[in-house]
Amino acid sequence: MMKKTPSFIEVYKSLIKIPTVSSDNKSLDQSNKNFIDLLSNYFSDLNFSIKNYQIPYTNKFNMLASIGSGTGGLLLSGHSDTVDFDEKKWTKDPFTLTEANNRFYGLGTVDMKGFFAFILDVISSINTKKITKPIYILATANEETDMSGARYFIKSTNIKPDCIIIGEPTSLKLINAHKGHMSYSIKVIGNTGHSSNPDYGINSIEIMYDVIKALLLLKKYLKQKYRHQDFSIPYPTLNLSSIHGGNAINRICSSCVLNFEIRPTPGLTLTQIEILIEEKLELIIKKWSDNRIFIKKLFSSVPSYECSHKDNITKTVEKLCQLNSTTVNYCTEAPFLEKIAPTLILGPGSIEQAHQPDEYLDKFFIQPTKNIISKLINKFCY
Ligand SMILES: [Zn+2]
């Protein structure tokens, strides 16, 4: 017997209701298993085959749902997790989909559990028996922390769709590129001593002064050497984010820590940046050969990403949706998913509301989003 298909709102509500917070803070981090199970049931009821993958060493899962056979087709992708939320700042329950002011409020309404409600709504209204190429739906884990879901997915799959669309909240703008992100911490260890006799110590702040000079040279080099005109800030940026060192006015500072980040433009790889950092710091590290300077990554790096304007898929989707592709200033899973197929980012709701208290989806996006998903499926799977 056919199950009665739940309405768009019922599905949306049920997806928001299940908490799937990802956090680097272990006490806040949650498994997404219940959410993945619910999503799997929804797609299974629409005759999709389901494969769920546990991310090694975690209690997190990716879901790949597929229907239709053969090569090519379309992959619609979203992340199943949300960021943590500040209870004091929310005026509504983050886990209750609340309709008000022509908006749907709730954690994940735009970023981005809501996207799956749109996909389910469109697919339940079409005849999937007539598709000639597969439709894939991917729900990833841990996008908001280390992107381990997407990283694991590209290693664990052999599917080759023609096109991948990530439904991040782009206000339905078509995105074909973003910068990457790398963050580092440099620790300098000196020797402490009374400040009245500088010869008795090694001042870590003075060594850090040389480190900073080298990093500022790197910053200048990146700005001069690399250019990507599609970005409003058309060069890779380097930001000195925080610095801590010293404790008493009459003490030679024994330890100083500097954190910094780099945002590479497409065309500049993570490896290239690592080499550049090494080159710039080489002389200082040699000078203090007794292990005084330590560099470590702060967070997992995300590469830059671009699906060229010249790529056939970019042109096809631009034409289909009557949109010109453009760039954004945040990172997504696209640099990983593009390893298996050309990837574009296009989804309902605004990034302005993502990671904010009282996150909401403007109802304005509902019909246009459903139209776009239908068009994409028609184009790539029929
Ligand atoms: Zn997101």
- pLDDT, tens digit, 9 for 90 and up, residues 227-237: 999 999 999 99
Share of the chain above pLDDT 70, in %: 99
Residue 291 is assigned to a structural domain of this protein: yes
289 pLDDT band (50/70/90 cuts)?
confident
Going from the Cα of 349 to the center of ligand 1, the distance in angstroms, rounded, reads: 11
Residue 101 is assigned to a structural domain of this protein: yes
Structure token digits, residue 104: 């749907």
Going from the Cα of 131 to the center of ligand 1, the distance in angstroms, rounded, reads: 29
Cα within 13 Å of Cα(225), Cβ side: 15
Give the Cα separation of 280 and 274 in Å (integer): 10
Give the Cα separation of 169 and 272 in Å (integer): 30
Vertex 229: Cα angle to 337 and 78 (nearest 5): 25
- pLDDT per residue as tens digits for the range 359-376: 999 999 999 999 999 999
51 pLDDT band (50/70/90 cuts)?
very high
Residue 188 is assigned to a structural domain of this protein: yes
Going from the Cα of 357 to the center of ligand 1, the distance in angstroms, rounded, reads: 15
Residue 182 preceded by cis peptide, ω within 30 = no
Q: Dihedral (C-alpha) 118, 29, 19, 156: value to the nearest 10 degrees?
A: 40
Same domain, 45 and 120: yes
User: What is the average pLDDT across 77-87?
Assistant: 97
Going from the Cα of 195 to the center of ligand 1, the distance in angstroms, rounded, reads: 50
Same domain, 44 and 138: yes
Domain boundary among 302, 336, 366: 302
Same domain, 16 and 106: yes
Parent domain of 250:
181-302
Residue 66 is assigned to a structural domain of this protein: yes
Residue 143 among the catalytic residues? yes
User: What is the average pLDDT across 290-314?
Assistant: 95
Same domain, 262 and 218: yes
- For residue 1, pLDDT over 50 is answered with no
Q: Which of 29, 111, 121, 143 is catalytic?
A: 143
Domain boundary among 245, 273, 302: 302
Parallel, antiparallel or unpaired: strands 255-263 and 237-245? antiparallel
Give the Cα separation of 346 and 316 in Å (integer): 14
The domain tally of the chain equals: 2
Going from the Cα of 82 to the center of ligand 1, the distance in angstroms, rounded, reads: 7
Domain boundary among 281, 302, 323: 302
Structure token digits, residue 232: 């409003």
Q: Which of 81, 144, 162, 333 is catalytic?
A: 81
| Cα–Cα distance list, 1 to 4, 50, 72, 280 (Å) | 9, 20, 32, 68
Same domain, 311 and 203: no
What are the CB-based long-range contacts (under 8 Å, 24+) for 235-241? 235/265, 236/179, 236/262, 236/263, 236/264, 236/265, 236/268, 236/273, 237/179, 237/262, 237/263, 238/262, 240/212, 240/215, 241/183
Residue 1 is assigned to a structural domain of this protein: no
Residue 87 among the catalytic residues? no
Same domain, 322 and 283: no
- pLDDT per residue as tens digits for the range 178-204: 999 999 999 999 999 999 998 889 999
Same domain, 239 and 283: yes
Same domain, 204 and 340: no
Going from the Cα of 25 to the center of ligand 1, the distance in angstroms, rounded, reads: 18
Going from the Cα of 110 to the center of ligand 1, the distance in angstroms, rounded, reads: 8
Going from the Cα of 175 to the center of ligand 1, the distance in angstroms, rounded, reads: 14
Going from the Cα of 111 to the center of ligand 1, the distance in angstroms, rounded, reads: 4
Residue 33 is assigned to a structural domain of this protein: yes
Same domain, 52 and 166: yes
Going from the Cα of 267 to the center of ligand 1, the distance in angstroms, rounded, reads: 23
Same domain, 32 and 100: yes
Any idea which residue has 């040699």 for tokens?
286
Same domain, 124 and 13: yes
Going from the Cα of 144 to the center of ligand 1, the distance in angstroms, rounded, reads: 7
Alpha-carbon Rg for the chain, nearest whole angstrom, is 24
Instruction: Yes or no: say if 224 and 263 are a contact pair by the CB < 8 Å rule.
Output: no
- For residue 217, pLDDT over 90 is answered with yes
Going from the Cα of 222 to the center of ligand 1, the distance in angstroms, rounded, reads: 28
Q: Dihedral (C-alpha) 88, 92, 97, 100: value to the nearest 10 degrees?
A: -140
Alpha helix stretches (DSSP H) within the chain: 8-17, 33-45, 114-124, 148-156, 204-225, 270-287, 312-321, 334-337, 366-381
| Cα–Cα distance list, 362 to 75, 110, 119, 169 (Å) | 25, 9, 17, 11
Question: Would you call 63 helix, strand, or coil by DSSP?
Answer: strand
Give the Cα separation of 210 and 283 in Å (integer): 10
Handedness of CA 128, 129, 130, 136 (dihedral sign): positive
Q: What is the CATH number of the domain that holds 318?
A: 3.40.630.10
Q: What is the CATH number of the domain that holds 220?
A: 3.30.70.360
- pLDDT per residue as tens digits for the range 103-160: 999 999 999 999 999 999 999 999 999 999 999 999 999 999 999 999 999 999 999 9
4 pLDDT band (50/70/90 cuts)?
low
Cα within 13 Å of Cα(86), Cβ side: 5
Same domain, 40 and 156: yes
State the burial class of residue 249 (Cβ atoms within 10 Å of its Cβ: 0-12, 13-18, 19+): exposed
Residue 374 is assigned to a structural domain of this protein: yes
Going from the Cα of 196 to the center of ligand 1, the distance in angstroms, rounded, reads: 54
Residue 2 is assigned to a structural domain of this protein: no
